[in-house]
Chains A and B, each alone.
Chain A
Amino acid sequence: MVGWITTALPNKRGLQLSLKDPATLLGLGLLTTFSYLILAPVISILMDAVNVNFGDSTRIGAEQGSFTLYYLERVFTSPISQRLFWQPLLNTLSVAIGAMCIAMVVGGIMAWLLSRTNLWGRGWFATALIVPFMLPTWTFALAWTTLFKNRSMGGQPGWLESMGYSSPDWLAYGPVPMIFILALHYIPLVILLFGNALRRLDSQLEDSARILGASRSTVAFRIILPLMRPALMSAMVLILADALGEFAVPYILGLPVQYDTLSTSLFRAISSRQTGVASVLAGAIMVLGCITLTIDLYLMREARRFVTLGGKGAMERRRPLGIWRLPATLLAATLFIIGVVLPLLTLFLSTIMRIPGRFHLSNFTLDYWIGTNLNTIALKNGILLTPEFWSATWNSLRIVGTASVCAGLLGLLVGYVVTRTPWRWLASSLRQLTFMPYLVPGIAFAAATLSLFAVQRGPVPALYGTSMILMLALIADQMPFASRAGISAMTQLGKEPEEAAQISGASWLRRMWSIIVPIQKGALVVGIVLPFISGIKGVSLFIILAVPATEVLTTYSLRLVDYNYTQAANAVVLMIAMLAWGGTILTQKLTKTGLAQGLES
């Protein structure tokens, strides 16, 4: 009896003490919150995929809520499966792989030129070539349609068309422009990841191989390439994962010619209220996302075996390009023109031209920005004078801003709990749970959120149509970045500054408010601003979850595209691009960290 008591006591006491420990209590609260925000939607949508949904009971011949394989069969084996899933899958993979290959080759060459050679204007290009990554992908898509749109679609023709050259469908729409545009978008990512790895690679390794008598090509293939393989593979996988969930580009360039990808197919299923099919598609996208990121995790583990690389002094050595210096510099300049100047200039010019492609002074106007009483059916004023534009801007700032502040704070709290709680399982389950949305492409996660919050469940009212549901989905979507930022900041800080305050007599709230939050101010800013930027230019969550009352800039501009108000749509996109770019620059100025480091963390 006595023995039993003495052995039982430490555990019970551990429990008692932990329940008085603010970090553990907070952790339990966070765990509940994230289970609800992240885990529950995913489970809910997976359930929807195998249960009879509302309105389908007569067709399936089973009661609502009972188990069924109907949706799985419909998506994977029925005659319609070809159109619902297999063709979109094939399309998605070809676009993703095509974009990846081009981005790897061009980005790889540029990374090498920028970090290892005496290219002219290296420092300037190193920043300038990153710009496309800060712009929303559909900036390029809209610029493309502005240039190449042909007669097969209504609305204003593209510049080429109005100049008299009719561009063929394969050039105007479908896989070719999609691959091209996504490649442009991912080249900066390759430059960043690959360039960092190259810079860390000690050139003494090359030199020592040379001294041993290896030729240049032997060095390239036997030394550099194997060492760079993890970085290469990792960039490939990241691009694939990201391209799987890409929505806006296929929406603009694929839909007109029925070129569906998984995300547009999912979008169609949702807009035609086929919840069951949508759930299966969302599940399939999640599985694909999980597969690619599992591969990435595996590769990163591989990569860690190489981290001993990197002497210091020898890194700055650059190879002279000789007669290739000018052509190489021109190549970089061309990339900058195609990736940045051309699309932005096209978009801008399109917003100040009445008739596309006619470069005549009388054709230029500022009406689409600030005009009144335009000769159009709706949208009678310039975009800056349209109340809907301002309400969409306000919604964007309000919804994304609130969500980012919440995500940043929650991320810091997660970091606090993970570094403080004595319960290991609590720390690791929080870490994994907040990482989960990273595995789920945005459009699938939006569908999942919709599936959970569309109807009333228990005490929680139906949230569809409110800005609440957007904020919740955004917060969840931003948690992977926010919590990683929080954890690394708290790990660096250590426990002692807080303990010193505790010894001085400060209560928990006081310690959080006077010590932890002020010290972590910088990390908090990053944890808020970066998610804010990606939220502002994001499409996939909003396209599913927003309604006219909660319209944000991105959905507003897509709607303008649908209504063929090209100038207005382009103007809105330019505003978004400006917000995103300005925000990035601001963060860099505020925190004095390069974008490259931000991406690496």
Chain B
Amino acid sequence: MPTITLDAISKQYSRQATAVQNIDLHIKSGDFMCLLGPSGCGKTTMLRMIAGLEHLSQGRLFIGDQLMDSPADGCFVSPEKRGLGLVFQSYALWPHMTVEQNIEFGLRLRKLPERERRTRTGEVMDKLGIASYAKRYPSQLSGGQQQRVALARMMVLKPKVLLLDEPLSNLDASLRLEMRAELKRLHQAFDTTILFVTHDQWEAMTLATTIAVMSEGQLQQVGSPDDIYARPANRFVAEFIGNPPINQIAADSTLGSRLNSQPDTHMLGIRPEDIHLTQAATPYALPAKVQGIMPTGGSWVLDLETEGQCLQLSTQIRPQVQAGEHTFCQIQPEHLHLFNTDGHRLENTRYGQARIIRNNVSTTTYMHAV
């Protein structure tokens, strides 16, 4: 199975508009990689370049060890020859063909005999549960059904690499959950390399084996979901991942200087679930006032005010305080994320201890160096 290698690729649509800038990325075969970033950051452009629907402006693109696109070498392999699968965000089903004809189209192009076409189409439709709509036209299907047809249309060709552009974003919540599980199952069943684009962090966290976070055309961090969450490489990743978002405290504020004294630190981050309420004044405890309590179904988010700073805390335990009450909160220094003036992560010298404490909670292996 092939790997995909992006070597310093860039894409400029025009002189002013740079959509993707100098990205190095390696997608291992069999990986389920998720490209995560806010909308407009260049995710679709990346997919389209890998598929060959856009030309690179700079850099080199390999699939396996074959060079696919390289402006410097004057090399470009057209999309129909790359043997990839791509599922569009809008599905792009052909409205004039039935579900069956849509799925069969690629096999026809490959001049497969009728019998084999039938069996392969039937197989894939069974697997995706759309066999009963075989004779319908796309306009007679719901969004979720269309999505599965779009997927089937690519799957039937057994591509080595499957590219998916926000395939779940047009579905309603329950269907999305269902399809998420299905995608994960399909990844194992079909044994393909999948590159999946989304702006939804939970989708990325639950599906991916590796996440690549992008912002404004640049790669921010590549790593396992746990890694990205626990060790955000910079302030963008820290802010983008996590809900409610990470609390940020200026290092030179009163609270900041009480929590941390490591040099070069500009900003401190603390995840809402790493703040705990205590009743008594323990060594790390800070006096805090509860501004508000929001139940979010099984967990609670509290707005606290500590030393003139607003913090959000989230907890799975029903809080024993009322809005307006004074209490104490506790922040372990080893849970702090430290960032320098450029927004890059600084190693927290007390982080090692924290990891040992937390190790029974998350079994993460930090093998993806940033």
- State the A residues within 8 Å of B (CB): 9-10, 13, 16-17, 20, 494, 496-497, 499-507, 510, 514-515, 518-519, 521
Which residue of A has the minimal Cβ distance to B70? A13
**Interface hits, B59-114 → A, CB 8 Å:** 71-72, 74, 76, 78-81, 83-86, 88, 90, 92-96, 105-106, 109-110
Alpha-carbon gap, A496 to B53, bound state (A): 10
Establish whether residues A500 and B88, one from each chain, have CB atoms under 8 Å apart when the complex forms.
Answer: yes
Establish whether residues A500 and B84, one from each chain, have CB atoms under 8 Å apart when the complex forms.
Answer: no
Interface readout for B41-59 with A: 1 if CB under 8 Å, 0 if not?
Answer: 0000000000101010110
**Interface hits, B132-160 → A, CB 8 Å:** 150, 153-154, 157
Which residues of A are found within 8 Å of B51, using beta-carbon distances?
A: 503
Which residue of A has the minimal Cβ distance to B72? A9
Establish whether residues B80 and A518, one from each chain, have CB atoms under 8 Å apart when the complex forms.
Answer: no
Q: Shortest distance in angstroms between B239's beta carbon and chain A's nearest beta carbon?
A: 32
* 10 shortest interchain CB distances as A-B pairs: A496-B92, A504-B106, A500-B92, A518-B96, A505-B80, A503-B86, A502-B79, A497-B92, A505-B109, A496-B88
Q: Given A496-B90, A503-B79, decide whether A13 and B106 contact each other with a Cβ distance below 8 A.
A: no
Which residue of A has the minimal Cβ distance to B92? A496
Which residues of B are found within 8 Å of A519, using beta-carbon distances?
A: 94-96
Establish whether residues B53 and A501, one from each chain, have CB atoms under 8 Å apart when the complex forms.
Answer: no
Establish whether residues A515 and B90, one from each chain, have CB atoms under 8 Å apart when the complex forms.
Answer: no
Which residue of A has the minimal Cβ distance to B58? A10
Interface centre among A504, A507, A514, A521 (most CB of B within 10 A): A504
Establish whether residues B153 and A500, one from each chain, have CB atoms under 8 Å apart when the complex forms.
Answer: yes
Size of B's binding interface in residues, CB under 8 A: 32
Alpha-carbon gap, A593 to B297, bound state (A): 51
Alpha-carbon gap, A17 to B57, bound state (A): 12
Which residues of A are found within 8 Å of B88, using beta-carbon distances?
A: 496, 499-500
Pull 23 A–B residue pairs with CB atoms less than 8 Å apart, ordered by A: A10-B58, A13-B55, A13-B74, A16-B74, A496-B88, A500-B88, A500-B94, A500-B150, A500-B153, A501-B94, A502-B79, A502-B80, A504-B105, A504-B106, A505-B80, A505-B81, A505-B83, A506-B80, A506-B105, A507-B80, A510-B109, A519-B94, A519-B95
Alpha-carbon gap, A10 to B105, bound state (A): 36
Q: Given A519-B95, A519-B96, decide whether A503 and B80 contact each other with a Cβ distance below 8 A.
A: yes
Q: Given A500-B153, A504-B109, A505-B109, decide whether A10 and B57 contact each other with a Cβ distance below 8 A.
A: yes
Which residues of A are found within 8 Å of B80, using beta-carbon distances?
A: 502-507
Q: Given A9-B71, A500-B153, A503-B86, decide whether A17 and B76 contact each other with a Cβ distance below 8 A.
A: yes
Q: Given A13-B71, A13-B74, A514-B105, decide whether A503 and B84 contact each other with a Cβ distance below 8 A.
A: yes
Alpha-carbon gap, A167 to B54, bound state (A): 74
Which residues of A are found within 8 Å of B84, using beta-carbon distances?
A: 503
Which residue of B has the minimal Cβ distance to A507? B80
Which residue of A has the minimal Cβ distance to B108? A514
Which residues of B are found within 8 Å of A505, using beta-carbon distances?
A: 80-81, 83, 106, 109-110, 157
Q: Shortest distance in angstroms between B94's beta carbon and chain A's nearest beta carbon?
A: 6
Q: Shortest distance in angstroms between B162's beta carbon and chain A's nearest beta carbon?
A: 11
Alpha-carbon gap, A502 to B74, bound state (A): 21
Which residues of A are found within 8 Å of B86, using beta-carbon distances?
A: 499-500, 503
Which residues of A are found within 8 Å of B53, using beta-carbon distances?
A: 499, 502-503
Which residues of B are found within 8 Å of A507, using beta-carbon distances?
A: 80
Q: Shortest distance in angstroms between B141's beta carbon and chain A's nearest beta carbon?
A: 16
Alpha-carbon gap, A497 to B95, bound state (A): 9
Establish whether residues A521 and B90, one from each chain, have CB atoms under 8 Å apart when the complex forms.
Answer: no
Alpha-carbon gap, A73 to B188, bound state (A): 85
Partner of A503, one of B93, B95, B96, B154: B154
Alpha-carbon gap, A505 to B71, bound state (A): 23
Interface centre among A16, A502, A519 (most CB of B within 10 A): A502
Which residue of A has the minimal Cβ distance to B13? A422
Which residues of A are found within 8 Å of B79, using beta-carbon distances?
A: 499, 502-503
Alpha-carbon gap, A499 to B90, bound state (A): 12
